[in-house]
Structure 1
Amino acid sequence: MSQITGKRVLVVEDTTIAATYLARELTTLGAEVVGLARSEEQALEAVEKYQPELILMDINLSEGGSGIQAARQLNQRFDIPLIFTTSYSDDATVSQAMETSPYGYIVKPFDTKTIKTACETALHRFALEQRVALSEKRFKMASEAAQFGVVELRECGQDFEFSGASSLQNRFGASTSLSKERFLALFPAKERQDVIDAIESGSSLRKTIKVTQDDSEPMWIDVVFSDVSVADNKVMVGAVIDVTERQRKMRRLKLSNVILDQLAEGVAVLDAEFIVRDANRALSRLFGSSADTLTGSTLGDFGLTREDLCDGHQELPAGHISRQKLSLVNAQGQDFSAFVTCAELEELHGDLRYVVTISDITELSQAEKRLETLAFTDPLTGAGNRNYLKLVLSESVYAGHLQALIFIDIDSFKLVNDTYGHDVGDEVLAACAELIKQEIRREDIFIRHGGDEFVVLVQSEQDVDALCNRILTTFTKPITIDAGELKMSASIGVAESRDADESTELLKRADIAMYEAKKRGKNQAVRYSQEQNDAIEYRLYVEQGLYNALTNKELHATFQPIVNSDRKIVALEALCRWHSQDIGNINPASFIPVAEETGLINALGLKMLREVCIAHRLLRESGHPHIKLHVNVSILQLNSAMMVQEFLNYLADFGVVPEDLVLEVTESVMHDFNTRKVLKELSQKGFGIAIDDFGAGYASVSELSEPFTTIVKLDKSLAPTNDENSKQNIIAESLVNLCHRLDKKVLFEGIESEAQADFATRAGSHYMQGYLFARPMSLMEVVSLLDSVEQQTN
């Protein structure tokens, strides 16, 4: 049965989604989730109320305090294992978290296997530590064994009988026994219930009482309850401290051997010279040596020196207890991990001075190693994770030998996830990791930075360019999955150590170089340069500006008319424009790609859709319901089921029917299987689909055969020239004829002269767009233009 089965678990997480996910996974694993807390205060209250056996605590609680501070308070008040859950954190945060001695550390995003392993390891470690704590308790009893007397509770449970404790008998005013009622009367009234509870439950308790008899001076006696109870007609034995010197010696002789031999942990009594004077059977088993051999020797033969026992001193400092984990060796030469405690006896007994307990914690050490492996290893690929990367980059000894850092990003991996699902995506990532491992040297360090990103730390002196080329070449091998074979590629950025003042700067620079490789067309390696850094800084500047523009409503729509062959306005294309008070007008070519890379394209798309719906409503109310509206959509928007549904909801709210809109998509979008599927569904609903900028890039003529596309919009680079016999005009005319045969409408954009317009008309173009007819304008300007044309016609 799993360690976590039936365990009461408290989840402290301020994010509802993460908290719900953890609760569901823990319940599936058999745990009982007793509560969910969102803040430091709620966490403390929940622990008081539910008494959980395990706590999962988010380090960063956005509201209501800090997970680290909550952990400190819980450690002071409770003894409950705690596991931190967190996303990527800086060094200072991780260092503060580790100071609270957590039992585990889970990095988001979670998965069931990681949660199960971390929880079971924490619970197993906690159980082992409890055993160690119990051994310390037993050791304490052993160290005081010389001071104990024996007292037995009779089977009737009503009388105590003293054995070999005449001094106690005299002080209690009894002969050989004392009634339970009279015995309890020796204690203050407010403490009697504690004594009764200890006897009935068999728990340990120590009380100091004052005994007065006749006219003699009062005496103070310590009474220790340990497993004193009556159960199944069997008498359990307890102990009472006898304050007389003679009785101390007697109890030492009676109890020390019994208690020491009953302990599972090894116990040794040492003299002032650290010579073993007595040892229990457990210590003999632990070291594989007889008690006779141990007695009279030091523990140095087993790897335990005098300095170890005294924390580096020759003598144990007064009042100090030494506790440490050490590696010891038994008589057969086998190493084992041990928890060693050394303490000075409170009262010396002749030349006996120290008591040492030794616990075999091999299992605990192995659990800690497994926990460390989990903390620094990516479970999917077996590579190091981001925690390990931060560790080695901050280690000066290692960083001094670092030659270069290679940043690898798997190209178009999102399409694999979207097409085949995340399980297949994980399979592909693991296969990609194996391809990379085959090309790097043993001394190089391989890291999964996150998602589809990998890092190679090159320590050896080698040709980094050759290594990158080998990695690129190995990706030419197809990856086999259940659905078939996939061809993957990678974009690589390289930063050499001489390019950066600090090793941590290498990661940033290699990332910048990798981004440049993506811009250049992917599937290549690029070295870092300062020019790339400047371009990235500008990109970040634009990205932050976009966030502010969406918030400050600096983005707006303009509309450029589209005319038919009779030069009548039949449609408007909605164009996004950005005017900043600080910068002025910003070219869409600068911010649209940034919006697509950052995901802001979805927010921008909803903004434009709202403008289109309002425009259609106003055109209809102004008497121009026949005007269609063209709007650009991206592959990211079409691949988001939420965005497509929101798109349809917008239309329904504004009373716009699909037949009133034409969706313009670039020809690159048509190459994606999922996107074509979505476009087919939208076409069936009544939307017009136009291929935008056809001929601008990698033009696939086969895409023209798709039945759901209705308009082919020829790129302005194919706009006619003054030379009617030029190759550009011949190509444009041929494409128009091809579209006619495939029953597609043709739209020429970029028309700026009458000659171009005449050529487009003669070639058979259905629609035209360009500055010759109108520049992009506001919606009110469009309505005015339409009204003016209508008045002139009438």
Structure 2
Amino acid sequence: MTIISDVKILIVEDEAVTSMDLRSSLTDLGYVVCGVATTGEMAVKYAGELHPDLILMDIMLAGRMTGIEAADIIRAKCRTPVIYLTAYSDDSFLARAKITEPFGYILKPFRELELKTNIEMALYKYKMESALRMSEETTRVLLNAIVDIMFLVDTNGKFHAVNTALAKQAGKKVSELIGSNVSELVTRGILSPKMAGWNVNPTQVIPRHFEEEFSGKWFDVTLCPVRNPKNDIVLYAVYIRNITPHKKHEEQSRQNEEYFRSLVEDTSDIIAILNNDTTLRHDSPSINRLLGYSAEHLVGKPFSILLSEEELPVLGCLFEEIMSNPGMVKPFNLKVKNADGEFFCLEGIISNLYGNPVIDGIVLNGWINPC
């Protein structure tokens, strides 16, 4: 039973009888014969014009160009899969034909079952190879779009893949780094020994992550082992990200926090940092000295526990206004009670410092007066 297919096949055969037999067999099998070429030159021309899905190529053709030469040109230009037709099976022909990466061989005289099997296997192989090429190209594009360094290195230190970020750092082309040894970049001071994986235990089965200061910069490094089908570790995938700006920010924040803490602890004013729900996050020691409350008693509690009932709406309006205006600074006057229940006037300013890398909250700064 003939199965209709939309697969287009180009026949390249200079023997008229064989060409007619092929056309008839292919048609009976449900394929579409999109053209017949009798020379290598015609085959190259038709491959570019007709865009066949597959080419049946006789190795020995009339004219100056052999089928092998034609297949090589076609492979370079459009990668159309080629199956060779040949009456020769000696090693010299096969060795020359292998270079062009054919998708199969059919010895003359052919049988329809053999023809169909070879065609279907070639089409499947081509489909899988195309999907793999697409996957590899996608991976390559993604790797090169990343500004961080990424590379694959084997257990002997030989590069198997690198992205353009590393090539740029090394001052070389990607192709120049592939196959070279990572030791060269270590010697040149581009990678540290740890980044190159020199201290990795070859039996290590889980990814290793660390931060390292190198050449005046900080780097976040991850080394992931890659296994072969036998479960042996054969490669390491290495990801290196420059985190120097982040480290500098961390250090600046730490210094700012220490400076702010020293100011809070030494001041005679009452200073409190509140969250957006009015709970107290941090208070100055002066609250204990002036009102008699310990930090353990207040931190995590609403600031409203210091106020009288009539002051609660005032605090609510004040907080609503200050939260609606980032960066706002506003004076206030509230009645607060000390630990013994006596009331005092707390005057000062309240500031919305959300977004500030050091404080990131509402700051209340005031002083105590008798009411």
Shorter-normalised TM range: 0.3 to 0.5
- The TM-score with structure 1 as length reference comes to 0.21
Higher helix share: 1
- The TM-score with structure 2 as length reference comes to 0.43
